[in-house]
Amino acid sequence: MAKVLVTGGAGFIGSHVVDLFVSKGYEVVIVDDLSTGRVSNLNPAAKFYEIDIRDPKLRDIFDAERPDYISHHAAQMDVRRSVAQPLFDADVNILGSINVIECAKEFGIKHFVYISSGGAAYGEPERVPCVETDPINPICQYGASKHTVEHYLYMYHVNYGMNYTVLRYPNVFGPRQDPRGEAGVVAIFTGKMLLGEPVLINGDGEQTRDYVFVGDCARANYLAVTIDHAPGIYNIGWGLPTSVNQIFTGLAAITEYNQPAQHGPAKLGETRHIYLDASKARKDLGWAPTSTLEEGLRETVEYFRTSEKAM
C-alpha cells in the first residue's frame, strides 16, 4: 500500500486531502503542530504526529514511516501576520519547507506536492487570468515566502532528481475553514451571518479572486500523485473573477441575512484583482473544477449550520 505524508493534515485544506487519499486506499501520515489545525479534523484512519515542520525531529518521522509521497500544506498562511511578522513568516514557510524537502531527499520520496499561492505570488498581475509563466512580483511577505520554495523544488529536481508538482491554489473555501480566523472570507462571512452579527468587508469589496471549492483542490493533489506528468508549476482555478461583494450577496441569500455590509480600510499587501488560468492542469493532470460557486457556498453554509458547535 502506497503511503502519503500530509503536512498540515489537521488543517482546513490538508484534512480534505487526507480524507481523499484515505478513501482511495492509501496509507496516510499526518504531520501538524495544531497551531491552526484542529484535532476534530483528523481522519481516524490516518497516523498523526504533532510536530512543527521546523523541528529537526521531523527526520525521525520520515525514517520511521518511509512515505512514498508528500503533500506539503503546512504553512503560515495569514497575509496580515506575514506583513507584521515577516521573520516568523519566512521561518515557517521557507526554513520549515526546506526541512521537509531535505527529509524527502534523504528518504527518496517518489513525488513531492507543494502547495503554493496563486492568489499572493503573482502580486498585482500584468494580465488576468494569470498563467504559470507570468511574472512573479508578490506585494506581501506571504506571497514571497511561498514562491521562494518553488525555486528550491526546481533546484532539488535538477540537482537530485526529485519529482515535484507545485499547485498554486486560488482562494479555497468550504467546510472546516475557520470562521474566526484572519483569512477565508467565505467562512468568516458565513459565521457572522449565521450569528446575525455585522459583516465587515475590507475596502470597497470590488477586489476579485478565483474561488474554488476545497474538494476540487484535494482532487488536484490526488491527480498530482497518480497522473504521470512533467515536474513543474500548475495553477488551480476557475479562471473567473468573483468580487467580495458578490460573495457577500450570495451568502446573504443562502443564510437569509438581511443586514447591510460594513466597510473598513483595505488590507495592506492585498492584491486587487487575481484569477488563474488552469489550462495546464487540465491538459497535463486532467484536472478541472466541478463544484460551482453557488454549490460550494451552499455546502459550506450547511456545514457551518450543522457542524460548527462553537458557533
For the chain, give the mean pLDDT.
95
Q: Is the pLDDT of residue 197 over 80?
A: yes
- The conformation of residue 293, written as its DSSP 8-state character, comes to H
Distance CA 45, CA 59 (A): 22
Predicted local distance difference test score (pLDDT) of residue 7: 98
Compute CA distances 256 → 154, 286, 296, whole Å. Answer: 48, 37, 17
| pLDDT tier at 271, thresholds 50, 70, 90 | confident
Neighbouring C-beta atoms of residue 253, cutoff 10 Å = 11
CA distance 88 to 78: 11
All structural domains of the chain, each given as residue ranges with its CATH number in brackets, are 3-173+212-238 (3.40.50.720)
C-alpha distances out from residue 180 to 53, 186, 262, Å? 24, 11, 17
Average pLDDT over residues 179-198: 90
The two most distant CA atoms of the chain are separated, in Å, by 58
Q: What is the pLDDT of residues 101-113, one digit of tens each?
A: 999 999 999 999 9
Average pLDDT over residues 144-152: 98
pLDDT the model gives residue 308? 72
**Average pLDDT of the residues in 37-41:** 96
Model confidence at 182, pLDDT cuts 50, 70, 90, reads: low
- Band the pLDDT of 252: cuts 50, 70, 90: very high
- Does position 80 have pLDDT exceeding 90, yes or no? no
DSSP 88-135: HHHIIIIIIHHHHHHHHHHTT-SEEEEEEETTTSSBS-SSSSB-TTS-
Q: Are the C-beta atoms of residues 121 and 269 closer than 8 Å to each other?
A: no
Contact 176, 303 (CB under 8 A): yes
Tens digits of residue pLDDT in 212-237: 999 999 999 999 999 999 999 999 99
> How confident is residue 269, by pLDDT bands cut at 50, 70 and 90?
confident
Cα 181 from Cα 117, distance rounded (Å): 18
Alpha-carbon gap, residue 118 to 227, rounded angstroms: 22
Q: What is the DSSP letter of 73?
A: -
Please give the share of the chain, as a percent, with pLDDT higher than 90.
Answer: 91
pLDDT for 311 equals 41
Inter-residue contact 9 to 32 (CB < 8 Å): yes
- Residues marked active site are found at 142
Asked if residues 53 and 74 have their Cβ atoms less than 8 Å apart, the reply is yes
Looking at the predicted structure, is the pLDDT value of residue 179 above 90? no
pLDDT on residue 114: 98
Q: How far apart are CA 69 and CA 55, in angstroms?
A: 20
Give the mean pLDDT of 183-206.
94
Q: Please state the rounded mean pLDDT for residues 170-199.
A: 92
